[in-house]
Homo-oligomer: A and B are copies of this chain.
Amino acid sequence: MKENKLSIKDIARLAGVSVATVSRVINQNGRFSKETERKVLDIIEQYNYRPNELARGLRVHKAQVIGVIVPDITNEFFAHIVKKIENELIKKGYMAIICDTNDEVELEGEYIEMLKALQIGGIIYVSGDQKIKPIENIPAVYIDRQPNFADSQHFAAFIGSDNRQGGYIATKRLLEAGKKKIAIVLQNKAIATQEYRLNGYIQALKEAGQAYDESLVRRVDFVNEEQGYQATRYIYEEIHDVDGIFYSSDRLAVGGLKFFYDRKISVPEQIAVIGFDDIPQCTQVIPNLTTVHQHYMEFGELAADTIIRMIHSDTGYSKHILPVELVERETV
């Protein structure tokens, strides 16, 4: 394993200038002539030189790397967000370290420690735990779930959807379809997004003159099809006459659809279903899932953009609440 890598010193020698000059043209810091620039750039090109990022990072106390914390990359919703973040970051010369926490808070802590040791420039939290402590001295943007402290702290930005509105329009749609007893299934965690959606649900009910019945809310530990299936089974078997269900995630709703298929219950005739997120899978299930669309593709883009701006200190705290939209398909 030969180490024939060139250093800035070699380039300086080859170009007949000092390392400082080479560094200046690489970083375009001015104070060099057009002529030297060409000379240096030529050598760099010719030898295919790339500065050692580790050395640079060590010197400037910051790596061109962003940590991305995500609860589960196999969830299509998160996968798309992460992919967007990553693709956007690379354009700006940054790399992304993806940290899949399996929804375990302890793992999250360990990841943060390692990221800090790597001197990362910033952190993007995709749907992280609500109760995390702020990370000192490191710019952070939170997607989907806003941590409790984020309002006040510097170096923290938030990007998310109008979840209350989402819960509201979903429920209202079910009501308009003539459904009388609407259940809701949520994730069983202290997550503000879930409570906002619940609030929207409650408000829609109230406007329709229905009282909020707590026995109609079912919570699951994890967001996946299996849990959606089980929750639906519970609702169907233990609560009677439910004719509409609002799921706080498409994956959950897909599980529900499976249950209704197995039991030969017709959707939306006997029971109407509505999801949340609008993942591609919505149009692959049968019947196609009616859902609340989140602009999650924009989450990633916005997050990448924001974190870079924060690193360059072009901006401090910011907050983006994106609108949601009902997308009509076949389950209501």
Contacts and interface: CB of A to CB of B under 8 A. Distances in A.
A315 to B, nearest CB: 14
Given A83-B100, A87-B100, A285-B284, A113 B254 contact: no
A99 interface: yes
A95 interface: yes
B54 A119 contact: yes
Contact of A90 (B73, B96, B111): B111
Contact of A118 (B54, B137, B155, B261): B54
A276 to B, nearest CB: 17
A98 interface: yes
B284 A254 contact: yes
B3 A137 contact: yes
B280 A258 contact: no
A57 interface: yes
A79 B87 contact: no
Nearest to A79: B74
A97 interface: yes
A162 interface: no
Interface in A281-332: 281, 284-286
A61 interface: yes
Interface stretch (A12-20, A33-41, A45-53): A45-53
Contacts of A58: 52, 54-55, 58
Contacts of A281: 281
Contacts of A57: 54
A188 interface: no
Interface in A66-117: 72-74, 76, 79-80, 82-83, 86-87, 90, 93, 95-100, 102, 107, 110-111, 113-117
Interface in A151-200: 155
A40 to B, nearest CB: 18
Contact of A83 (B63, B73, B107, B113): B73
A111 B79 CA distance: 19
A211 interface: no
Contacts of A72: 83
Nearest to A135: B3
B95 A52 contact: no
Contacts of A3: 61, 136-137
13 contacts: A50-B113, A52-B117, A53-B114, A54-B63, A74-B76, A74-B83, A74-B280, A82-B98, A95-B118, A96-B98, A254-B284, A281-B281, A286-B286
